[in-house]
Every structure is written in structure tokens, then in C-alpha cells.
């Protein structure tokens, strides 16, 4: 059989079942691309309906570079050719699978399979973090991939020789039983949304989701729509958005990127167009084209904002639609609960990275809220049939459906009885259940776990996995990365502005904080740590970190972590011996949080590194908080400074102490000279006894500390501070500041300060 005949038979079977099929052309780059072109020609697929994801420009198809694979999200294609000769990127594989329609073909152009197993490509180079090189990358992910290509149903393999000879190794046919096409979904009786909106639904699941979303017409309603990729949740959300706008609602849509929400706007536009609500303006004959804003005549509107901005609820929307909610962290999602009505559309198993933190953790926030919550689950694909073999292949190859052990198996886990285990790559490859549980814990706990992370776990030479195991099941997992120990030339390169892959903590300390020696030490960064949701808050994560420290303390100079800072996480890491050395000056676009970098030294060199950066941090943080960090939450500042293992070097002058005393007695005015109180506040918050507890040993209560942070450190206006902290007036707020200063003067001042205080008492 020719390659065209194989493709023709595959497509005929795919079209008869509304499934997809996968064709693998193995050989040299040019020969496989030619074979792919012949295959698609034999399958009678117009080149105009084919998209090529690869580097070659010598193809008859529309080209998307692999670096822009995200552009496939929300698009559909009759066929897609993925060229894996330059690199085999797991994220690109997942995105390619998700972009092929039912009845379509996905074609992979790859090296000869045995050669492919041994080859190291551009993606492997990205895993080779210095001082390792690409020869140290293991290639285990590719081994899994090739094994599934050789054995999975619905996958055809054609070997292409350099002389043009082609050998069909597998025809990929599954001989499925005939299927009866489903009936069109029925419109529910008495819908609130227009009947025409429901008629755009493809499946009964979409009808059910749209009917649930009708609740968003009323304040106090929350709707959660969960689905795997390709089930039409974004389409349902878009139909609802259009209907709500027709009803006069202001609908704010958000997603990690606009492209993730493009389907929402496409469907909303269809609804508004059907209702003739997007007619041209009579004054200029045209409407400005803006894909992020639909503003129908005499109606509401549908608009887009990025998550961090949308969480501020700009212009007081009536309804918020959060698409791809699972790709956002829980702490950001919680802020949307201040909206009058809100819907969360979330991918359970996603091609671009979707954590189960939404399902596991955010559910607590929803339950505790005052919203009337409606849940909808969508299981039926809209672009291809259920049980599609290409989707099943992708789920297995990329572990998109990996999850932790079921709750009853780990319910009795506790730190003392759990077994600490070094999980070697060989263990993961030999035990599919262990691999799925360990990777599933990371997916469950983190807002962004991608297929690329699976390859990193299996292949990256600087990455190690450690776990706590209960009755053979992983209950807590840490993903660790070695950083530092860089040669002098790389340290210089980094210091002078060059980028070095990986090595996040040395990079920050060197390039941003100007410490050229930081990369000389060797550390172990905790990339991710995850504990099974059924046994959280029992101390398992802390036990795991303690065991990691015991194992590696003699081999590295420091342990480190970098993450989106929240008070809870800062306290967790502080309790485990980590101290703050840096707060980023920009918010993470997805999480909306400022990132903290923390160190736990394990050697003299590590202690020197942590000590100087801790000292530099408390010396500079006051100035940072009055400018780039003037909007960071006060409780983050409190926790970050209490986690700093240093106090400011500089003392105050006698004159500065007198200014502070004047604030207590009312003779001095804070605005005349803010600097002394700024320095005293940093000193207080970073003092050792203040760090012992959030309340015990502290001279001030949390509200007083927040007042000092907002006014003395961040320089907010009196009116804004008074409003935020619920003071009746600006005058009361000013008096409260003086009352907060008084105990600090007794605590840190000398006899002269006490004498000065007596003049006002």
C-alpha cells in the first residue's frame, strides 16, 4: 500500500466514525515532508486546509513556527503536519492534537524511529541546564512516545528511505463498528436566553451548560463548567456572554491570554450578529474593529481584561466569565468572588497546562462564599467522537489525565509513618501507577503544569524527584533542581546581562542584585512541592522538606524556593527554615502575585550568601515599597519581612528619634519627614522577636502593622489608608499612627528617647 493509500484509508475510517487518525512518517526531513504531502493528497485533503507546525518554509501549507504553537489554540483544521525533526516539544504535540477536527488527520514527520530515540534536539537543549550539556539529557520521554506510536490503536507508521522507498510498518486501522449519528440537541422548555442561541449548541452537554449559565442574569449566582479540552465549554460561555449582553449586562471576560478566550468572543459575536445588535454606527458608517470588545447598540457589552487587571473588577461589571480557570492560581480566582455574578469555565485535562488546584482548592472558597453555585460537567466532544484514539494516545503519551491516588488509599497518611523515597527515573518508567500519581500530584497542586514538565521530570539532568509514600502511594512530592556551581565565564556572562538556562536563583542574585559570586555556590531549588489534597495540613510537606534537607545538606550550599508570594506560603517556607532575600518588582501576569525568593543555607558559603542578601533585602525594601511595590498587600510585606533573616545595619540619628517622638505627641508631622518611620518600621517587622510569631512577641496588632506599611512604607494617601483600614476619619488615622509609633520607641529607642517621650506624657 502506498502512503497515499494508507492516508486515504485512515481518513475514510476517521470520517465514518467522526474520529481522528495519526500518521507517522519516519525518515529524513525532506523525505518525510514529501511523504506527508503525498499522504494528504491521497486522502483528498486540500493543501489550503492543512497547517504545518515546523521550521521548513518549503511546504505547500500554511506554516506556524513551533515557538508559536499556542496560536493553534481555539483553531480547527482538517489536517495538521507536525515536524519533529528540529525538536520534539511535548506542548506542541498536545496543541497539535487539539487542533484537528473529527474526520481529520494528524501527521508527524520524525527521524527514523531507532535514530529518533538516540537523537538530542533543540528541546533537549532547553533541558540541559548549565553546567550540564545536552549529552546529559536522558531521552526517556521520547522512548515512551515511540513505544506508544508503535503500539497504540489508530496510529499508522510509514518508514521513508532516502531513495524514496516507503514501507508501511502499521496501517493504523481499527475497523470500528458503525456509529449512528446523534440527534441534534433539543432546546429546553421555556428558556430565558433566546431560542436561536440554543440552536447554536452542538451537543446536549452544551445545552445543559448554557441553561445553567442563564443564572448569571441574577446577582449572587456562580456557575462552574468543567470539561476536557474540545468539549465546547468556551463556545457555551460565549453564547451565554452574547445573550447576557443582549439583555443589557456588562460582561467581563478573562483568561490567561486573549487567544484562550477568542472562542468566547467568536460565539458572542455570532449571537449579537443574529440579533442585528452589531449594526454599523449611523454617524460614520462603520464600527471600529476591536476583538477584545463587543459593544452592541442599545445593549450591554462583552469585554476582555487580563486576569490580574480583571480581578480588580474594572468599571463594575454585572457578570464575570473566567475561561481556562484551571490555569490561574486559586488566590487570584478568589478575587473574582467579589463580582455580582461569576462563571468559571475550566479545562480538566488541558493541552497547555491545567492544574486541578481549581477543583481541589478553589472549591473551598466557593463553598464558603455566599454564591448560589451551579456545577456543570461536559464530557461529549464537539469536534470528534468520544473515545477518539488520537485523544486517548495523547492523554497517555502526555499524561494529561494523570491524577493522585484516590482519597481512601491515603486517608491514614501521617508524617511519622510515611516513607521518604528517592524516586529515580527508572522507578517512574517501570511503574506507570507511580508515575501517574507523582505527576498527578503536581498537576493537582499547581496552576500551571504542562506536558513539557513531564519531559523535564523524566529527562532533565539537573532535576530530581523526592516523595513521601504511604502504603505504596505518593502523598507528597517535591521536584528539585540543582542550580549554581557555574564556571567563572558563565558567572561573568550572567553578571553582564547574558541569560543562562535554568539557574533561576543565581540569575536573580547575579543579574538583578549585582552579586557576581552568587552563581559560584551550588544549591537545590524546590521547583514544586505538592501534597495530596486529602491529607493537607498534617505536616507532610514540612516532613518532606526536612528529609530533603537532611539528604542534601552535605552536598549543596543552600536550598531555595521562588514562588508567587502570599502570607500563607511565606509563613510555610519560613517555618521550614527558609528566609526572604528578594521580592520581585513586577507582578506575574498569570498569578497576579509578586514573587518571593527564599534561601535555607546548608554550608558556610551558603550562610554567607543568605546573610548578605538578607541584609541587602531589608536595607533596600523600604525604598522598593514606596515605588515598584507600593501596591503589594500589607500582609505579604509583614510575612516577607518576618521571614528575612537580617535587620537593617543603620541606626537613626538623635534628630530622627526626636522626629519620631514628635509623631507620638502630635508636635511632629509624619509628612514632614517620612524616612525615620520608614526605617523604624522595617527594623520592627524584621526584628527577631517580631519574627517569632505573627502575634506573640509583637508590640503591635495586625491592623497597626498594616497602617505602618501602607503609610510609612508604601506612602499611600491619608484618605486611602483611612478608607482601607476602616478609620472613621483622616484625623483618627493620624492619631492611630502616633499610637502605633509609641511602643516602638520604647522598644528600640535609648534613654534619650525615653527622656524625650516624658516631655509629652
- CATH class of residue range 3-170: alpha beta
Q: At what angle do helices 204-213 and 233-246 cross, to 10 degrees?
A: 40
* Span 694-727, pLDDT tens digits: 444 457 999 999 999 999 999 999 999 999 999 9
Lowest mean pLDDT of 260-269, 346-355, 536-545, name the range. 346-355
Per-residue pLDDT band at 288 (split at 50, 70, 90): very low
pLDDT > 90 in the chain, percent:
72
Q: Please answer whether residues 170 and 150 qualify as being in contact, where contact means their C-beta atoms are separated by less than 8 angstroms.
A: yes
* 152's grid cell: 497504540
Per-residue pLDDT band at 356 (split at 50, 70, 90): low
For residue 411, which phi and psi values (nearest 5 degrees)?
Answer: -60, -30
Q: What CA–CA distance (Å, rounded) separates 285 from 272? A: 18
**Buried b / exposed e across 6-31, counting CB within 10 Å, b at 16+?**
bbbbbbebbeebbbbbbbbbbbbbeb
Q: What CA–CA distance (Å, rounded) separates 731 from 75? A: 58
Domains of the chain, residue spans: 3-170, 195-378, 415-642, 654-758
195-378 matches 3-170 in CATH topology: yes
User: pTM higher than 0.75, yes or no?
Assistant: yes
Q: What CA–CA distance (Å, rounded) separates 610 from 563? A: 17
Beta pairing, strands 100-110 & 21-26: parallel
Architecture of domain 415-642 in this structure: 3-Layer(aba) Sandwich (3.40)
Q: What's the CATH fold of domain 195-378? A: Rossmann fold (3.40.50)
Span between the terminal Cα atoms of the chain, in Å: 101
Q: 756 or 549: which carries more pLDDT confidence?
A: 549
pLDDT at position 707, please? Answer: 97
Q: Is the pLDDT of residue 692 over 60?
A: no
Find the largest Cα–Cα distance for the chain: 102
* Span 387-421, pLDDT tens digits: 999 999 999 999 988 889 999 999 999 999 999 99
DSSP string computed for 128-155 = --TTS-GGG---HHHHHHHHHHHHSTTE
Amino acid at each position: 500500500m502506498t502512503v497515499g493509500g494508507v492516508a486515504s484509508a485512515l481518513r475514510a475510517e476517521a470520517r465514518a466514525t467522526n474520529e481522528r487518525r495519526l500518521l507517522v512518517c519516519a525518515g529524513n526531513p525532506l523525505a518525510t515532508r514529501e511523504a506527508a504531502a503525498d499522504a494528504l493528497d491521497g486522502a483528498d485533503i486540500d493543501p489550503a486546509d492543512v497547517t504545518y507546525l515546523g521550521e521548513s518554509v518549503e511546504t505547500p501549507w500554511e506554516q506556524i513556527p513551533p515557538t508559536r504553537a499556542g496560536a493553534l489554540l481555539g483553531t480547527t483544521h482538517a489536517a495538521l503536519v507536525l515536524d519533529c525533526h528540529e525538536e520534539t516539544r511535548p506542548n506542541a504535540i498536545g496543541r497539535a492534537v487539539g487542533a484537528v477536527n473529527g474526520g481529520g488527520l494528524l501527521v508527524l514527520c520524525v527521524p527514523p524511529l531507532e535514530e529518533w530515540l538516540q537523537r538530542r534536539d533543540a528541546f533537549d537543549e532547553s533541558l540541559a541546564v548549565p553546567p550540564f550539556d545536552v549529552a546529559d539529557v536522558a531521552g526517556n520521554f521520547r522512548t515512551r512516545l515511540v513505544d506508544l506510536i508503535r503500539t497504540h490503536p489508530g496510529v499508522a507508521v510509514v518508514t521513508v528511505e532516502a531513495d524514496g522507498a516507503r514501507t508501511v510498518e502499521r496501517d493504523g486501522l481499527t475497523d470500528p463498528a458503525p456509529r449512528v449519528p446523534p440527534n441534534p440537541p433539543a432546546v429546553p422548555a421555556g428558556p430565558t436566553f433566546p431560542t436561536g442561541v440554543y440552536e447554536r449548541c452542538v451537543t446536549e452537554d452544551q445545552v445543559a451548560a448554557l441553561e445553567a449559565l442563564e443564572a448569571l442574569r441574577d446577582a449572587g449566582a456562580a456557575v462552574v463548567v468543567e470539561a476536557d479540552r474540545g468539549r465546547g465549554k468556551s463556545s457555551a460561555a460565549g453564547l451565554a456572554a452574547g445573550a447576557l449582553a443582549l439583555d443589557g449586562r456588562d460582561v467581563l471576560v478573562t483568561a490567561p491570554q486573549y487567544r484562550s478566550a477568542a472562542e468566547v468572543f467568536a460565539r458572542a459575536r455570532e449571537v449579537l450578529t443574529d440579533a442585528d445588535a452589531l449594526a454599523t454606527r449611523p454617524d460614520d458608517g462603520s464600527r471600529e474593529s476591536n476583538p477584545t470588545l463587543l459593544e452592541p447598540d442599545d445593549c450591554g457589552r462583552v469585554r476582555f481584561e487580563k486576569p490580574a487587571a480583571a480581578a480588580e473588577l474594572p468599571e463594575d461589571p454585572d457578570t464575570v466569565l473566567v475561561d481556562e480557570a484551571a490555569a490561574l492560581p486559586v488566590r487570584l480566582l478568589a478575587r473574582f468572588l467579589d463580582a455580582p455574578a461569576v462563571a468559571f469555565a475550566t479545562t480538566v485535562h488541558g493541552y497547555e497546562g491545567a492544574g486541578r488546584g481549581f477543583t481541589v482548592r478553589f472549591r473551598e472558597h466557593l463553598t464558603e462564599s455566599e454564591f448560589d453555585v451551579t456545577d456543570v460537567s461536559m464530557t461529549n466532544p464537539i469536534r470528534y467522537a468520544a473515545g477518539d484514539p488520537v485523544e486517548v494516545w495523547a492523554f497517555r503519551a502526555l499524561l494529561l489525565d494523570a491524577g493522585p491516588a484516590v482519597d481512601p488509599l491515603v486517608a491514614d497518611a501521617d508524617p511519622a509513618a510515611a516513607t521518604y523515597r528517592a524516586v529515580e527515573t527508572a522507578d517512574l518508567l517501570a511503574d506507570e501507577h507511580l508515575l501517574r500519581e507523582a505527576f498527578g500530584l503536581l498537576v493537582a497542586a499547581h496552576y500551571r503544569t504542562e506536558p513539557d514538565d513531564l519531559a523535564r521530570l523524566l529527562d532533565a539532568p539537573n532535576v530530581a524527584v523526592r516523595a513521601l509514600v504511604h502504603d505504596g502511594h505518593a502523598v507528597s512530592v517535591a521536584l528539585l533542581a540543582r542550580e549554581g556551581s557555574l564556571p567563572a565565564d558563565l558567572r561573568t556572562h550572567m553578571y553582564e546581562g547574558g541569560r543562562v538556562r535554568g539557574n533561576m536563583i543565581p540569575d536573580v542574585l547575579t543579574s538583578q542584585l549585582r552579586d557576581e559570586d552568587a552563581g559560584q555556590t551550588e544549591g537545590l531549588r524546590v521547583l514544586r512541592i505538592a501534597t495530596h489534597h486529602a491529607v493537607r495540613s498534617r505536616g507532610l510537606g514540612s516532613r518532606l522538606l526536612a528529609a530533603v534537607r537532611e539528604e542534601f545538606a552535605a552536598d549543596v550550599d543552600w536550598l531555595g524556593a521562588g514562588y508567587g508570594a502570599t502570607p500563607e506560603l511565606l509563613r510555610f517556607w519560613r517555618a521550614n527554615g527558609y528566609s526572604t532575600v528578594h521580592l520581585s518588582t513586577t507582578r506575574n501576569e498569570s498569578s497576579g502575585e509578586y514573587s518571593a525568593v527564599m534561601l535555607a543555607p546548608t554550608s558556610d558559603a551558603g550562610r554567607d550568601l543568605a546573610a548578605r542578601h538578607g541584609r541587602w533585602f531589608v536595607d533596600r525594601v523600604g525604598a522598593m515599597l514606596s515605588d515598584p511595590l507600593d501596591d503589594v498587600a500589607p500582609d505579604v510585606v509583614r510575612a516577607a519581612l518576618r521571614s528575612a533573616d537580617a535587620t537593617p545595619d543603620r541606626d537613626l540619628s538623635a534628630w530622627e528619634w526626636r522626629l519620631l517622638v514628635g509623631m507620638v505627641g502630635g508636635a511632629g508631622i509624619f509628612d514632614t519627614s517620612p524616612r525615620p518611620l520608614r526605617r523604624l518600621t522595617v527594623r520592627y517587622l524584621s526584628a527577631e522577636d517580631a519574627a517569632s510569631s505573627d502575634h506573640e512577641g509583637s508590640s503591635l496588632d495586625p491592623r497597626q502593622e498594616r497602617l505602618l506599611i501602607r503609610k510609612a512604607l508604601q506612602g499611600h494617601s491619608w484618605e486611602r489608608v483611612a478608607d482601607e483600614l476602616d478609620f472613621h476619619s483622616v484625623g483618627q488615622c493620624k492619631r492611630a499612627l502616633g499610637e502605633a509609633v509609641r511602643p516602638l520607641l520604647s522598644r528600640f529607642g535609648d534613654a534619650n528617647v525615653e527622656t524625650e517621650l516624658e516631655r509629652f506624657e
